[in-house]
Amino acid sequence: MKKDVMQYVELSLYYVILFFILREWLVPVVELTSTGHLNLLLLFIVLAFVLNLFQAPIVVSWLAKFTYIAWFVVHVYSEEKLWSAAGLQFLQIDIKRNVEVVFAGQWEGVTDPFRSVLFFLLIWMLIYLIHHWLTVRMTIFYFFVLTVFFIATLDTFTSYNGAASIVKVVLLGLIMTAFLYMKRLIVETGTSFAFYKYMRYILPITLAIGVVGMVAILLPKAAPQWPDPVPYIKSLSGTAGSGGTSISKVGFGEDDSRLGGSFEGDDTVVFYVHAPERQYWRVETKDLYTGKGWESTSDLYSLFEITDRNVMNSVGYNEQGDWKRAEVFPAVVDKAYVLQPYGIRSFHTRQSDITLQFNRITERLTTKLGSTDTPVDSYSIDYSTPEYSYTELKTPVPASELMTMDERYLQLPAELPERVRQLAFDITQNHQTGYDKARAIEQYFKRNGFTYDTKDVAIPTETQDYVDQFLFETKIGYCDNFSTSMVVMLRSIGIPARWVKGFANGTETGRFNEELRVFEIENNDAHSWVEAYIDGVGWMPFEPTIGFVNQADINFDMETTESEELLLEQEKEQQELKEQQVEEQAVQQEKAKKQQSISIDWKWLVLALLALAGVGYVFFKNRRKWFVKMHVNRQRRQPTNATTLQKSYKVLLKQLESVGLKRGSSETLQAFATRVDDYFGTDDMSKITDLHEKTIYSKDMTHFNFDEIKESWEYLINRTTG
């Protein structure tokens, strides 16, 4: 009994260490793929280890694991209860859909719940392999090496920082290796299991590994002696500096030369802002459209230093408006660019040695220490939001008073498809002023079947134009698609326009005081929009992306008749209603999905359950054969000694019982062995039993030849399955 208890304790200790190593596999996967639900995935690992620890029958083990997987899928993707009608309906529909998709070979149509099931099955198989390595081979060296290689690869080629994970895995792996090495010595030498003897050797080894690990962590590290290989590898593969075709994480990027493709959300906070109101945060503009993305015109004289901290970009500010102040606290240390509210006038920071650099082409503000881009801990900005007169916006400007604009704001590639220009003309032909034309294009996307989505967003081929593909082929995209398309269409009808990058409003989390509200700006809030030059008014922002609201502050100062007043009032309220309409539409769509009554197709559900039951029955029916075959293969790999002989003898007794040869309650082992030999016409059982009894009572095992008995044991095992 003590021996069995100690085996449970020993195996439990192994599983605890393996759990923490497996956790280091899951953490980067969940982080890089935004999968989420790490705790539920870890709980599945715990369930699998517990079932292995107590040697649950295979039917019980499979049923428990499949039930957990089904509960996870229903709980995460439908928020229903597993055994409810809605939960069963969800499972049935998803099973049917994925069966059809798989048999049709349309793998891109596989649903997220089915992908989760496949991921669970992968974890299941991994745990099975680990259990095999642990209990049969008594080594996890290959798993240990694979884990270190896996984390090191992610640390090198992705944004995941695996330094701490590698240290933890190495320390845990070394401790586990020491445990298993000691276990192999005990088995191979036939030493009796004594806990105090076992721990007498294990504790010093564990302590030594821990001390060496801590010393290694605390010691100073030399700088890398080799150059970073990643840029070189990327240059060979042709992916350096390009958008590629993979899914990217959302955020403010520097390279916009290849737009398109899907992205995943990232809720990392990059700025904390104390400001009196919600607003867009401008970072830079770009002027050169290539047909695939955006670049900036180069100019040797575009950069100059601002010494008096007074800042003014081409948008300008409201000279009659109230001055406001915003406090910005970067949460990520590598952000040296300045967030610019519309109407920025001055910049202040407590770091007196910091200077500001202004890029005349992109209008980007960068904080610098000497000649190096240097982020600051915090800064404040004074601004006065520009206000646009509705009268001026609606009044045509005589040709003699038009200003000559920089040609770079009208630039378009020669290969731009003609149908893009024609569409812009068709949208604006009935409008007179630049503002009305810009508003018509801005509103076009909201009324003509375009969809805002971050998944399954197309990437143009080498022969496709980014805007043309979005306008006429996909009509699915996010802010880059909408904003770039509007800029290109404005330019095609002669209205100067530029592409603006920055951050949307952010999430309000509370109040700092009576005047300032607190906003968290995440990578998810990275955004692009449009600035158009309106004759007689100047540069003003426009927002074509579905679900976002134009931030321009318009003063409806026009004298109107009663009917015109009504129209103006509607235009004035339209900006406030946009968000409400989008939210209501989303709610209605979700409500319609929930109210959609699809009766459960019990045929598919019953077929799936019958198939699962059939597989389980086949395994259970043939358990004698595959279980014995597994044990025979295990026995062949292990050296035969006293410990393995006793385990094999117990397996043999169970197999004999399964064919009707059960030992009587008062029957001695020798009498039972004689009866078995008479049944099979051999003397193998007597040989095995004789050696089995000697190993129990003899202290000296060196004179026994265990290998001679291996053939007899295997012969009897095969006879029970014949």
The residue ranking higher by pLDDT, 186 or 365, is 365
Q: What's the pLDDT score for residue 688?
A: 78
Lowest mean pLDDT, pick from 239-243, 257-261, 433-437, 660-664: 239-243
> Could you give the CA distance from residue 676 to residue 655 in angstroms, rounded to a whole number?
12
Q: Determine phi and psi for 198, rounding to 5 degrees.
A: -60, -50
Say if residue 591's pLDDT is above 60: no
Which DSSP string corresponds to 104-148? HT-GGG--HHHHHHHHHHHHHHHHHHHHHIIIII---HHHHHHHH
Helices then strands (H, E): number in the chain? 21, 22
Higher pLDDT, 618 or 47: 47
Average pLDDT over residues 689-709: 67
pLDDT at residue 704, as a whole number: 58
Give the right CATH number for 252-558 from 3.10.620.30, 3.90.1150.10, 3.40.50.1980, 3.40.50.150: 3.10.620.30
The predicted pLDDT at position 21 comes to 87
Confidence grade of residue 3 (pLDDT, cut at 50, 70, 90): very low
- Using CA atoms, how far apart are residues 153 and 155, in angstroms rounded to an integer? 5
pLDDT of residue 599: 42
Q: In 133-164, which positions are buried (b, 16+ CB within 10 angstroms) versus exposed (e)?
A: bbeeebbbeebbeebbebbeebbeeeebebee
Amino acid (1-letter code) at residue 689: T
In tens, the pLDDT along 17-66 reads: 888 888 888 888 877 766 678 888 899 999 998 998 888 888 888 999 98
Q: 172-186, 525-539, 599-613: which has the minimum mean pLDDT? A: 599-613
Cα(265)–Cα(84) distance, integer angstroms: 32
Task: Identify the pLDDT of residue 710.
Answer: 72
**Strand pairing report for 294-295 and 288-289:** antiparallel
Residue 207, both tokens: 């302590």
More confident residue, 642 or 648: 648
Q: Provide the pLDDT for residue 287.
A: 92
3-state secondary structure of 158: coil
**Does residue 590 surpass a pLDDT of 70?**
no
| Longest Cα separation, the chain | 120
DSSP 683: S
Q: Indicate the range of 125-139, 265-279, 442-456 predicted with least confidence.
A: 125-139
Average pLDDT for residues 589-604, to the nearest whole number?
45
Query: pLDDT value at position 565?
Result: 55
Burial 609-638 (b: 16+ CB within 10 A, else e): eeeeeeeeeeeeeeeeeebbeebbebbeeb
64: CB partners within 8 A, 6+ apart: 47, 51, 56
Closest CA to 471 of 462, 463, 460: 460
Rounded to an integer, what distance in angstroms lies between the CA atom of residue 297 and that of residue 710?
A: 81
Per-residue pLDDT band at 659 (split at 50, 70, 90): confident
**pLDDT over 70 percentage in the chain:** 77
Residue 247, pLDDT score: 60
Lowest-confidence pick of 67-81, 116-130, 556-570, 688-702: 556-570
User: What is the reported pLDDT for 235?
Assistant: 45
Contact 286, 294 (CB under 8 A): yes
pLDDT for 672 beyond 80: yes
- Mean pLDDT (whole number) for 291-300: 85
Which tokens is 264 given?
């995943």
CATH 3.10.620.30 residue ranges for the chain: 252-558
Confidence of residue 712 (pLDDT cuts 50, 70, 90): confident
**Averaged pLDDT for residues 337-353:** 89
pLDDT tens, 205-234?
A: 778 877 877 877 777 766 555 555 555 554
Taking phi over 0 as left and psi of -120 to 50 as alpha, with beta for the rest, 122 belongs to alpha
Residues above pLDDT 90, as percent of the chain: 20
Which of 254-268, 593-607, 625-639 bottoms out in mean pLDDT, i.e. has the lowest? 593-607
Per-position DSSP letters for 581-613, written without gaps between them: HHHHHHHHHHHHHHH------HHHHHHHHHHHH
- pLDDT at position 550 is 80
Confidence category of residue 491, pLDDT binned at 50, 70, 90: very high
* pLDDT at 615 (0 to 100): 67
Question: Across 94-108, 489-503, 584-598, which has the greatest mean pLDDT?
Answer: 489-503
For residue 374, which amino acid is it? Answer: T
Q: CA 98, 106, 101: angle at the middle one, nearest 5?
A: 20
Please state the rounded mean pLDDT for residues 540-557: 84
Q: What is the DSSP letter of 537?
A: T
Q: What is the mean pLDDT of the chain?
A: 79
Q: Which residues pair with 305 in a beta bridge?
A: 357
Looking from the CA of 377 toward its CB, the CA atoms found within 13 Å total: 3
- Give this prediction's pTM: 0.50
Tell me the mean pLDDT in the region 446-456: 86
Give pLDDT, residue 409: 93
Residue 8 is classified by DSSP as H
Whether 597 shows a pLDDT value over 50: the answer reads no
Taking a C-beta distance cutoff of 8 angstroms, is the pair 114, 98 a contact? yes
* Complete DSSP assignment for 426-489: HHHTT--SHHHHHHHHHHHGGGTT-EE-SSS-----TTS-HHHHIIIII-EE-HHHHHHHHHHH
pLDDT at 564 over 80: no
pLDDT computed for residue 600 by the predictor? 44
Mean per-residue pLDDT for 372-396?
88
Least confident of 77-91, 345-359, 495-509, 665-679: 77-91
Q: Is the pLDDT of residue 582 over 70?
A: no
Q: What's the pLDDT score for residue 179?
A: 80
pLDDT computed for residue 79 by the predictor: 67
